[in-house]
Amino acid sequence: MKRFIVLYYKDMKKGLLLTLLLCAAGTLFASAVPETKSIDMTHRMMSLALQVGVILFAARLGNLLFTKLRLPSVLGELIAGVIIGPFALGKLWDGWIFQVFANSPVAVSPELYGLCTVASIVLLFLVGAETDLRMFMRYSAVGSLVGIGGVLASYITGAAVGVYVMGLSWTAPTAILMGVMSTATSVSITARILSERRKLDSQEGVTILAGAVIDDVLGIIMLAIGMGMIAAQQSGEGVSWAHICGIAFRSFGVWLGATAIGVLIAQYVSRLLKPCGTHGEVAVLTLGLALLVGGCFEKAHLAMIIGAYVTGLSFSRTDMGIMIQEKLHGLYQFLVPIFFVVMGMMVNIAEFLNPTVLLAGLIYTAVAVLAKVIGCGLPTLLFGFTPMGAVRVGLGMVPRGEVALIIAGIAAAAGHTEVLGVAVLMTLLTTLVSPPLLVLAFNIKKRGHRKEEDQNSAPAAIYNFPNHAVTNNMMARIIHTLSNEDFFTHQIDPVKGIYQARRSDMVLTIICGDTDISFSAKAEALPFVRIVMKETIAEFEGVLDALKSPLSEDAHLEIAEATAEHRSKLPPDKLAVLNRHISEKAIIHRLEATSRDEIIRELLQRLHTTGALKDPKAAEEEVLRREQIMPTGVGSGVACPHTRTATVDSLVCAIGITREPVNFSEDEEGQNCRIIILTLTPDAPGSPYMTFITAILTALRSEQTRIAILEADTSATIKKAILAP
């Protein structure tokens, strides 16, 4: 634990130092350019580039820190934005690249806010693409009532805080937006807790997920109604109850009509787009449609994000839904952290700490928690839930997230900046308060439902795989198999690898770990799960068999004898790699073992003795499994067994010389091996795995080198022969 803390501190220290250096460089460059009218546009674009660079590093640093602390990473990005923003470092550091932008209601430059707006459209477009529309359309009444109850209670109580604490009217834009902000639920944090406790398929878990889908849709509609009311006021029209009902009817009608049309024509649109290029290019075109539809919604006095959400929702029913999420993931990783950091930058700390705003924020947060617990929990009592089950459902709906911040950004752009601080405070506190309360509620050993089904909470099956790469490949093939069986697959939590697959009444929860895939479902779904896995593994084995054909014709590892005219020396960097990873302590100049398995075991034991290997038995199983897939004899009397494994922390190598030739395989390359090079590396990026193997085989191309190794009588002599120029 102490070693982990030291390494973590060093990594964070390096990251913080790099971020500060980049910030300082950006500040120097920004201040070095004179602000004249002739170069104003160039200067502003240069400032934008510097700002985005600093934002990305600050976002990543905040993300990593909060992830290590087991807190939602989005909170780290928000806090990073507050720290580097114009109201924090901008106040303390003259010439800082983030200064309050004059004549801007959001304090940041129009270019940066424009980038933030595009990020919000991308975010809601992908949220729509991930939404399970069939669950929204088909699921039981309890999910609908949970969503409706939560939205109504949250809007009324949220707006009431603006009325009774901040002295606003019920129709004031700020009060309307405070009500709308309180409605949106971010269920990913709840889903993570439910998955860890194996409760995703419990009555409470399924109800929360179903209610969250309906909650999101209703929250978007509430935003449309709210924006319509604000637009009516700004145009000078009176807002009576009749007018509000008219706006609600029009907003709901536009949303419902656009969604219905989108769902109906999405299949035809997808067919038109598919011939337009690769999957990545087609995904970009669908995003272009989202931007166009978002602009049309803004013209109709509805928010752009509503149009983006409707577009994503329409494509979620097509075969392009998963592809869109996959191909736009890189754009998501670039833009969305910018959105959250800029949201934090827009928070005026002075206003945030104002007693009135702070009090309003704390009351607003408390009310937001109670509104979801009561509004979402009470309806469940009508459907067989116990009071404890109702509390669990309500707590699961408490966290707020990206939609609340997007609404706050819209409010800030319209001049209602006081809403932003309240929204950030609510987002921070609800995401921090909900997890421990939900865990506490599940720790209380009381039934959540009068007819609780115990088998829902138990994993149906767990399948283990040799490494992370194989696990990921298998997961992708499982999703493909389920999609072919008309299941709707939805990734609930990308960080934890949690998926749900639904078809009619069959619900499968799948958790993809580093080296295992587990299924949770009802007992009657077990036979189906086993069939899916058998078919997927059979297909995977077929692919592996097909791949062996070209490799058997041209061995993937081979020593080609160097001719005089083509003899080459190892470059200095390759020699440095060999020198770094070959230790005399791990060289056995005369092996006692006389068979392949015994040789591998003896070399692994030597690595364990030197402290480089944690679990020789596990490493032995992995190396031998690798040998069965593809033997590693490389010709000229050399064998190079190797594998990726979690039993080592860095690349290690053991070298052994046999007394008599040993056959490593039946093919020609594996016959009569005497020089054995065993290489182990962790299954992680950054290891010089292929570089090391290439370097060692290149060094052994020379017959003189091989003869010198075989005749050597000490470990030092063997290493010297390998490194000889």
Distance CA 581, CA 678 (A): 12
Query: What pLDDT score does 571 carry?
Result: 65
553 versus 714: which is more confidently predicted? Answer: 714
Question: pLDDT tens digits for 346-396?
Answer: 877 777 777 777 888 889 889 999 999 999 888 888 888 888 988 988 888
Residue intervals of the chain classified under CATH 3.40.930.10 are 564-723
Task: Output helix, strand, coil percentages for the chain, rounded to the nearest 5.
Answer: 65, 10, 25
662 versus 564: which is more confidently predicted? Answer: 662
Residue 77 has pLDDT above 70, yes or no: yes
Query: What pLDDT score does 191 carry?
Result: 64
Distance CA 382, CA 64 (A): 43
Distance CA 150, CA 182 (A): 9
Q: How many residues does the chain have?
A: 725
**Mean residue pLDDT across the chain:** 78
Question: pLDDT tens digits for 106-159?
Answer: 778 888 888 888 988 888 888 778 766 665 555 556 777 888 888 899 999 999
Domain 458-552 annotated CATH 3.30.310.10 = yes
Residue intervals of the chain classified under CATH 3.30.310.10 are 458-552
538 versus 615: which is more confidently predicted? Answer: 615
Average pLDDT over residues 18-25: 52
Nearest residue to 119 via CA among 68, 89, 74, 174? 74
**Percentage of residues in the chain having pLDDT higher than 70:** 79
Kind plus residue range of the DSSP H or E element containing 338? helix 329-345
Question: What tokens were used for 128?
Answer: 């729509």
Exposed, middle or buried: residue 257 (CB in 10 Å: 0-12, 13-18, 19+)?
exposed
Question: What tokens were used for 689?
Answer: 């795995």
Question: pLDDT tens digits for 631-654?
Answer: 778 888 888 888 888 888 888 999
Distance CA 717, CA 614 (A): 28
Average pLDDT over residues 424-437: 81
Residue 444 has pLDDT above 50, yes or no: yes
Distance CA 614, CA 621 (A): 14
Contacts of 34 (CB under 8 A, 6+ apart): none
Query: What pLDDT score does 201 carry?
Result: 59
Exposed, middle or buried: residue 294 (CB in 10 Å: 0-12, 13-18, 19+)?
buried
Question: What tokens were used for 435?
Answer: 């997890």
Residue 288 has pLDDT above 90, yes or no: yes
Question: What tokens were used for 66?
Answer: 């909060």
Into which CATH architecture does domain 119-443 fall? Answer: Up-down Bundle (1.20)
Residue 206 has pLDDT above 80, yes or no: no
Region of poorest pLDDT, from 485-494, 555-564, 666-675: 555-564
Residue 430 has pLDDT above 80, yes or no: yes
**Percentage of residues in the chain having pLDDT higher than 90:** 6
Query: What pLDDT score does 306 carry?
Result: 78
Question: pLDDT tens digits for 574-606?
Answer: 678 788 888 888 999 888 888 888 999 999 999
The domain defined by 564-723 folds into Mannitol-specific EII; Chain A (3.40.930)
659-698 as b/e, with b when 16 or more CB fall inside 10 Å?
A: eeebebbeeebbeebbbbbbbbbbbeeeebbeebbebbbb
Residue 4 has pLDDT above 50, yes or no: no
Residues 682, 554: contact at Cβ < 8 Å? no
Query: pTM higher than 0.85 for the full model?
Result: no
Query: What pLDDT score does 384 carry?
Result: 82
Residues 677, 709: contact at Cβ < 8 Å? no
Distance CA 208, CA 665 (A): 56
Region of poorest pLDDT, from 3-12, 191-200, 494-503, 686-695: 3-12
Amino acid 530 reads R
Residue 658 backbone dihedrals phi, psi, to 5 degrees: -80, 155
N-to-C CA span, the chain: 43
At 553, is the pLDDT very low, low, confident or very high (cuts 50, 70, 90)? Answer: very low
Query: What pLDDT score does 52 carry?
Result: 92
At 240, is the pLDDT very low, low, confident or very high (cuts 50, 70, 90)? Answer: low
Report the DSSP beta bridge partners of residue 518: 462, 511
